Amino acid sequence: MPGIRNKAAIVGLHESPLRDAPGIHPFRIMMDSILAALDDAGLHLKDVDGLCIASGDWAEGGAVESVTEFADYAGITPTWFNGTDVGGCSYLVHAGHAAAAIATGMAEVVVIAYAACPRWWPLTTPSFDPFVLPAGPGQYELPYDPTLISAYALMAQRHMADYGTTPAQLAEIAVTFRRHAAENPQAKMRSPLSVEDVLGSTLIASPLRRLDCCLVTDGGGAIVMTSAERARDLRRRPVLLSGFGAAVRRTQISQIPEDLSTPAVISGQRAFAMAGLGPADIDVAQLYDAFTITPLLALEDLGFCPRGEGGAFVSDGNLGIGGALPCNTDGGGMSSNHPGKRGLLALIEGARQLRGDGPGVQVEGAQTALIHGLGGTFCASSTAILTV
């Protein structure tokens, strides 16, 4: 299934260094990031004919039809665009869809941008978020007041009972990512963190504690994609999109499968098949880390370890530099930044690792990167495999 393998490349990128951006509208952060990413590529705004954003959720600055709002702000008239919003992995989905558009000639230069400013955002954005709508499928669950973290906590609790996974093993994930963040000058949290710190932090939704949770920061970024052919003539070493997969499955907690598998099983298989690679071929990974249980389940679903063995895998040092699968090298959402839908920032760090210009720790000579995101509470998944 070669599909769009190596048809398109990431040729420019920029991550905003902002973590607290009082008074700065998210559209400004997206626009600044787009211009910086185009400059990185050696391209100009007038070259752009494709736009991907999903900025209609809370603190993202737009409303449901944010694609048109942002085109207005940017002063551009894209002829190919995608506003798919399936939560945190939306921007990985955009990258796959953009590659397909580039491969078929529907678009030539696509920018994908994201920003949010939850730390100062003053409005309760009108939302179509299924987690706050007590009608249709949500009418059976919202009366019990589940919080966003509830679904993760319920899955963590069950994983512990089924497989003996421990809170200390989950804490190892946060500790490892903090160690990476310590080397990243842009990361929000850089002070040393211990397993004991995590286990002693405030209980939010049992068994998950405050330091099992990602940060809430402002921030954003952008990437530029074009054809692999055109990429050869641009300023930066092209990073090829070699594999891509996505899947959506459920929203309601009641529909969580008894084996706790997530759509990552599907998106991962499709991405690996397209790339012609397997888990053992991956040099560095960026796994969405909304909560510590999130990357642990991704490791199992993507095939980096057998089901139920995620706890042992993360506590054996595999996720650190020098480990079997160095992961979240910028510190991830737990320690670098998490404005709300972090998939694009993970994609940026995956590409930086292959270019050798990450802001913090660097996996020397990395040639393959896997970036995996999820949306909602494991409702959507998208997996991208990048190569150089």
Partner 1 sequence: MKPVPDNDSAPFWEGLKQGRLLIQRCPSTGRYQWYPRGHSIHDPSATPEWVEAKGTGELFSFTVIHRGNTRRPPYNCAMVRLDEGVIMLSSLRGIDEADMRIGLKLRVDFEPLDEETALPVFRPV
Per CB under 8 A, residues contacting partner 1 are 134-137, 139-147, 149-150, 153-155, 157-158, 161, 202-208, 252-256, 258
Nearer to partner 1, 36 or 149 (CB): 149
In the complex, minimum distance from the CB of residue 142 to partner 1, in angstroms, rounded to a whole number: 4
Nearer to partner 1, 37 or 208 (CB): 208
Nearer to partner 1, 79 or 255 (CB): 255
In the complex, minimum distance from the CB of residue 125 to partner 1, in angstroms, rounded to a whole number: 15
Nearer to partner 1, 75 or 144 (CB): 144
Report the C-alpha gap between 200 and 209 in whole angstroms: 8
In the complex, minimum distance from the CB of residue 153 to partner 1, in angstroms, rounded to a whole number: 4
Write the Ramachandran bin of 176: left for phi over 0, alpha for psi from -120 to 50, otherwise beta. alpha
- Contact between 150 and 253 (Cβ < 8 Å): yes
In the complex, minimum distance from the CB of residue 123 to partner 1, in angstroms, rounded to a whole number: 16
Judged by DSSP in three states, 267 sits in helix
Nearer to partner 1, 10 or 205 (CB): 205
In the complex, minimum distance from the CB of residue 63 to partner 1, in angstroms, rounded to a whole number: 22
In the complex, minimum distance from the CB of residue 209 to partner 1, in angstroms, rounded to a whole number: 9
Report the C-alpha gap between 203 and 234 in whole angstroms: 50
* Token code pair at residue 378: 């494991």
Parallel, antiparallel, or unpaired for β 50-52 and 80-82?
parallel
Q: Which amino acid is at 160?
A: M
Nearer to partner 1, 157 or 367 (CB): 157
In the complex, minimum distance from the CB of residue 323 to partner 1, in angstroms, rounded to a whole number: 30
Nearer to partner 1, 123 or 280 (CB): 123
In the complex, minimum distance from the CB of residue 161 to partner 1, in angstroms, rounded to a whole number: 4
The interaxial angle of helices 148-163 and 293-301, nearest 10 deg, is 60
The interaxial angle of helices 167-181 and 293-301, nearest 10 deg, is 100
User: What letter would DSSP give residue 252?
Assistant: S
Kindly give the residue spans of alpha helices, DSSP state H, lying in 303-359. Answer: 310-315, 332-335, 343-355
Nearer to partner 1, 337 or 377 (CB): 377
Judged by DSSP in three states, 120 sits in coil
Q: DSSP string spanning 152-175?
A: HHHHHHHHHHHH---HHHHHHHHH
In the complex, minimum distance from the CB of residue 32 to partner 1, in angstroms, rounded to a whole number: 31
In the complex, minimum distance from the CB of residue 165 to partner 1, in angstroms, rounded to a whole number: 13
Report the C-alpha gap between 158 and 68 in whole angstroms: 43
> How distant is the alpha carbon of residue 187 from its chain centre?
16
Nearer to partner 1, 77 or 206 (CB): 206
Maximum alpha-carbon separation in the chain: 57
Judged by DSSP in three states, 386 sits in strand
Report the C-alpha gap between 341 and 329 in whole angstroms: 18
- Contact between 154 and 256 (Cβ < 8 Å): yes
Nearer to partner 1, 46 or 144 (CB): 144
CA quadruple 6, 8, 13, 15: dihedral positive or negative?
Answer: negative
